[in-house]
Amino acid sequence: MRPIKPHFPLSYGVPRVDDRRVVSGINFVIRNGLRWRDAPAAYGPPRTLYDRFIRWSRLGVFNKIFAALAAKGGQPDR
């Protein structure tokens, strides 16, 4: 998580659900073709997963993460 942490926006106000849990939840929902509301509770509230996915997508967070990881080179885990 450390290499991608700088790409996430700063939080303000109410304590946030951990970004690592949210990223895992977003990944789980997308990889399994689920509706947001069907995400396991361990990843946080479904509305949080959805809201962050939309916000981070609009801010280009995922593009920045993928670009940073691609720039490091190396082989994919799979």
The residue extents of the domains of the chain are 17-72
Least confident of 23-27, 55-59, 62-66: 62-66
Residue 63 has pLDDT above 70, yes or no: yes
| Backbone phi, psi, residue 40, to 5° | -60, 145
Band (55; pLDDT cuts 50, 70, 90)? very high
Band (24; pLDDT cuts 50, 70, 90)? very high
Q: Quick check: pTM over 0.85?
A: no
Rounded to the nearest integer, the mean pLDDT of the chain is 87
Residue from 34, 31, 7 nearest 19 by CA: 7
pLDDT at 8: 72
pLDDT at 68: 87
